[in-house]
Structure 1
Amino acid sequence: MPVEYYTALSAILFTIGVVGVLSRRNAIIIFMCVELMLNSVNLLLVAFSKMHHAAHPATVAGTEGQLFVFFVMVVAAAEVAVGLAIIVMMYRNVRSIDVNFLNRLKN
């Protein structure tokens, strides 16, 4: 498959993630949209790594992008653990996960 298909799919997924982050108020949905954006970038990394390997077959078997994806996924897993812990504590204290309500608490 041409890399343009992967680029288009990744752009669509990233756009959905950005729209979700900017338009939603629920912290869990915002969190899922951020993860969607990270996964779209992971898709691009693997696609470009595969394209680079096809253009230069003498290099390593196209695993550079996959290695970066592995590290991004490890960081995303740590982010999810910390973020969900913050959301749970926020819900216990405030009984809401509405982001606008948290902005009012700052004042």
Structure 2
Amino acid sequence: MIISILGIRGILLNRQNILIMSMPIESMLLAFNLNFLVFSVSLDDMMGQSFASLVPTVAATKSDIGIAIFIITFLV
């Protein structure tokens, strides 16, 4: 919960730079991933673990978009 709040605060404070704004999004994704895993273990259900395996895919896609924005900004 605290990591999610810090991620939202980081997004609201760093609106000028898209690359710096993507770092709090990454921490929010990790917080959601941790919540999925904790509740999956506590409820003895595999659904949370299957959702947790999809979060790194979203994070990798986000970093690819960030790298593409960086390349377009500085190399073109």
Q: TM-score range by the shorter chain?
A: 0.7 to 0.9
Instruction: State yes or no: 1:89 paired with 2:75.
Output: no
CA–CA distance in structure 2, aligned partners of residues 91 and 77 of structure 1: 21
2:56 corresponds to which letter in structure 1? M
Cα drift, residue 44 of structure 1:
0.5
Q: Using the aligned pairs only, state the percent identity.
A: 32
Q: How many residues align?
A: 75
Instruction: State yes or no: 1:33 paired with 2:24.
Output: yes
Q: Who wins on radius of gyration, i.e. which is larger?
A: 1
CA–CA distance in structure 2, aligned partners of residues 27 and 68 of structure 1: 26
Instruction: State yes or no: 1:21 paired with 2:11.
Output: yes
Unmatched runs of 5 consecutive residues or more in structure 2: none
Over the aligned positions, Cα root-mean-square deviation in angstroms equals 1.5
CA–CA distance in structure 2, aligned partners of residues 88 and 33 of structure 1: 21
2:59 corresponds to which letter in structure 1? A
Contact 1:27–1:87 (Cα < 8 Å) also in 2: no
* CA shift digits 1:2-46 (9 cap, x unpaired): xxxxxxxxx110111111111112222211111111111111000
| Mapping for residues 1-107 of structure 1, pairs under 5 Å | 11-24=1-14, 25-53=16-44, 62-93=45-76
TM-score, normalised via structure 1 length? 0.62
CA–CA distance in structure 1, aligned partners of residues 75 and 12 of structure 2: 25
TM-score, normalised via structure 2 length? 0.84
CA–CA distance in structure 2, aligned partners of residues 12 and 89 of structure 1: 34
Q: Which has the higher helix share?
A: 2
